[in-house]
């Protein structure tokens, strides 16, 4: 049996890659010997850069940015084919970066 998993990330908890890993482990527990593979997918938010880098055999470039609370944080973007780039705002200002008690776009965060 061959299984292909294509999963988006679960905001703030699991990456696409980790989801594929967990689904593969569960499939082997249920079905025994089976061939599992996966592709990361994303909907344009969190996980998009990683999905595009994986699909295009690109490179992840680390950068320092200011997050939604103006704190300096590590982020990244992807480059591929020598002259193409992909940038994801969620990596620099996504919801998981803001503690629940500070999630007030009217007076706390910078991404409004």
Domain that holds residue 79: 58-112
Q: Do 109 and 63 belong to one domain?
A: yes
pLDDT at 71: 87
> Are residues 110 and 67 part of one domain?
yes
Into how many domains does the chain fold? Answer: 2
To the nearest whole percent, how much of the chain has pLDDT over 70?
93
The answer to whether 44 touches 52, Cβ cutoff 8 Å, is no
What is the reported pLDDT for 107?
67
103 and 71 together in one domain: yes
Q: What predicted TM-score, i.e. pTM, was given to this entire model?
A: 0.62
In terms of DSSP bridges, do strands 84-86 and 72-80 run parallel, antiparallel, or are they unpaired? antiparallel
Predicted confidence (pLDDT) at residue 110 exceeds the cutoff of 80: no
Q: Is residue 8 part of a domain?
A: yes
Asked whether residue 53 is assigned to any structural domain, the reply reads no
Alpha-helical (H) ranges within 8-108 are 16-31, 48-56, 90-93
């Amino acid at each position: 049996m061959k299984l292909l998993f294509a999963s988006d990330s679960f905001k703030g908890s699991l990456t696409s890659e980790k989801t594929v890993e967990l689904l593969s482990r569960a499939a082997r527990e249920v079905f025994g010997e089976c061939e599992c593979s996966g592709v990361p997918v994303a909907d344009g938010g969190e996980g998009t850069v990683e999905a595009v880098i994986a699909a295009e055999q690109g490179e992840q470039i680390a950068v320092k940015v200011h997050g939604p609370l103006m704190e300096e944080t590590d982020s990244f973007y992807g480059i591929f084919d020598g002259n193409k780039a992909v940038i994801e705002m969620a990596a620099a200002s996504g919801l998981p970066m803001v503690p629940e008690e500070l999630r007030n776009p009217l007076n706390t965060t910078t991404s409004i």
